[in-house]
Amino acid sequence: MLLNKESCVLIFNVFSCLCLTGCSFSAQMSTTAIPVVQNIDIEKYLGTWYEIARLPNSFERNLDQVTATYTWREDGKIKVLNRGFNTEKNIWKEATGKAWIPDPDVPSRLRVSFFLFFASDYRIIALDDENYSYAMVTSNSMKYLWVLSRDPQMDTEVYDRLTKQAQAYGFDIEKLYRVTHS
């Protein structure tokens, strides 16, 4: 079937509108305008973090008691071990990946990969720069946000301050899921 000139123009216009809509949607969902933490000692950041809250996502569905543990690998990259208890299946779930710092001048912007060559952003947007007792992390999209702590419980005042900061950045904090730890 051959298309006439009018059909080709219509298809081109529809395709162009879809592309432009996708671009504007992507820009609205992007976290690139959110500043990352400027000064970070990656050595102090390594170790185990407890997930206190998160925006819901498919890869953590039904998980509680979630931790993320970061350690050095022999190749200079960072080993990432995410662990959580699936409350529906009554089993522990683990995912091991690797992280690296693409720009040594901005160590709070990492790349993380859990599968082959697919990688995503890991952007530290809040951090207790003195004791490294809490952090707030996002990816490249406003769909992802994690509030982390070195302890399974977080002080309410600190949590409220972090979520207000997240809300000011444009995250939908009403959707935050509070992770339980036993």
Q: What is the CATH number of the domain that holds 59?
A: 2.40.128.20
Whether residues 126 and 88 fall in one domain: yes
Whether residues 122 and 79 fall in one domain: yes
Whether residues 50 and 121 fall in one domain: yes
Whether residues 20 and 49 fall in one domain: no
> Quick one: pLDDT at residue 115?
87
Q: Evaluate whether residue 110 is within a structural domain.
A: yes
C-alpha dihedral over 27, 30, 34, 36, to 10 degrees?
Answer: -140
> Quick one: pLDDT at residue 28?
65
Whether residues 46 and 24 fall in one domain: no
Whether residues 62 and 89 fall in one domain: yes
Half-sphere exposure of 147 (CA within 13 A, CB side): 28
Whether residues 118 and 164 fall in one domain: yes
Residue-level pLDDT, tens digit, the chain, 182 residues = 343 444 333 333 333 333 333 333 355 689 989 999 998 999 999 999 999 999 999 999 999 999 999 999 999 999 999 999 999 999 999 999 999 999 999 999 999 999 888 999 999 999 999 999 999 999 999 999 999 999 999 999 999 999 999 999 999 999 999 999 98
Candidates 129, 128, 117, 122; CA nearest to 107 is 122
Q: Which two tokens stand for residue 167?
A: 């809300």
Task: Say how many C-beta atoms besides its own lie within 10 A of residue 161's C-beta.
Answer: 14
> Quick one: pLDDT at residue 27?
54
> Quick one: pLDDT at residue 145?
98
Whether residues 22 and 61 fall in one domain: no
- pTM assigned to the model: 0.83
> Quick one: pLDDT at residue 5?
43
Whether residues 99 and 19 fall in one domain: no
Using CA of residue 53, residue 55, residue 56, residue 57, what is the dihedral sign? negative
> Quick one: pLDDT at residue 147?
98
Whether residues 81 and 107 fall in one domain: yes
Whether residues 22 and 51 fall in one domain: no
CB 181 within 8 A of CB 50: yes
Range of 122's domain? 42-178
Per the structure, how many domains does the chain have?
A: 2
Q: Evaluate whether residue 37 is within a structural domain.
A: no
